[in-house]
């Protein structure tokens, strides 16, 4: 009788736990996260850059990974291509226009399992324009504890966008044909996350 009562009470408690209760919120560790991009230059090479200031949270539901959520904010002023003159151009009105649009944001709307990882759909906002994009995600890795007692996990996400879809239309036509800056931009985020 006692065992049945305990079992019934446990079942009631389990059923009363709200969806998402198995989720844990992880903060992106900006010091160990790389948000980078690559774009074709002069039709002959790829210019790579990164954003040095990235923050956000990843709510991971290990019981049902499709219920996980992602929110990321990138400081556009932190763009860095290892060339200060080019970086100033990227911060200006021809590209990111950082005074008007200081951030790039991503908010997930759907998480689905895929072969070898996840497909994370979400709203990407650049230059004041919001478009739905799909990230191919590897991870998240299993949690480990660092020497300071913090739990850590990692993931890698990538996608491709057309910069013109976000109002980044500046270009120069080359005398020999073609353009100075390609339209397709490859984006990669290697994120490390922490949780107490």
Domains located in the chain, CATH noted: 20-195 (2.40.128.110)
Please tell me the distance from the alpha carbon of residue 143 to that of residue 146, in angstroms, as a whole number: 10
Residues 148-194: tens digit of each pLDDT: 899 999 999 999 999 999 988 876 655 554 555 778 899 999 999 99
Residues 82-93: tens digit of each pLDDT: 999 989 999 999
Q: What is the pTM of this model?
A: 0.83
Buried b (16+ CB within 10 A) or exposed e, 110-146: ebeeeeebbebebebbbbeeeeebebbbebbeebeee
Q: Is the pLDDT of residue 70 over 60?
A: yes
């Amino acid at each position: 009788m006692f065992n049945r009562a305990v079992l019934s009470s446990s079942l009631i408690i389990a059923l009363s736990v709200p969806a998402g209760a198995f989720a844990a919120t992880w903060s992106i560790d900006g010091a160990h996260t790389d948000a980078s991009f690559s774009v074709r230059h002069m039709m002959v090479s790829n210019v790579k850059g990164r954003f040095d200031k990235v923050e956000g949270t990843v709510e991971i539901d290990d019981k049902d990974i499709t219920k996980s959520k992602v929110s990321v904010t990138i400081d556009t002023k932190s763009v860095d291509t290892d060339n200060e003159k080019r970086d100033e151009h990227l911060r200006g009105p021809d590209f990111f226009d950082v005074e008007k649009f200081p951030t790039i944001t991503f908010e997930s709307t759907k998480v689905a399992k895929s072969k070898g990882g996840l497909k994370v759909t979400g709203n990407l906002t650049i230059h004041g324009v919001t478009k739905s994009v799909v990230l191919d995600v590897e991870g998240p890795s299993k949690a480990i504890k660092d020497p300071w007692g913090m739990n850590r996990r990692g993931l890698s996400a990538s996608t491709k966008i057309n910069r013109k879809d976000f109002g980044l239309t500046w270009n120069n036509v080359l005398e020999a044909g073609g353009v100075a800056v390609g339209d397709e931009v490859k984006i990669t985020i290697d994120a490390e996350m922490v949780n107490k």
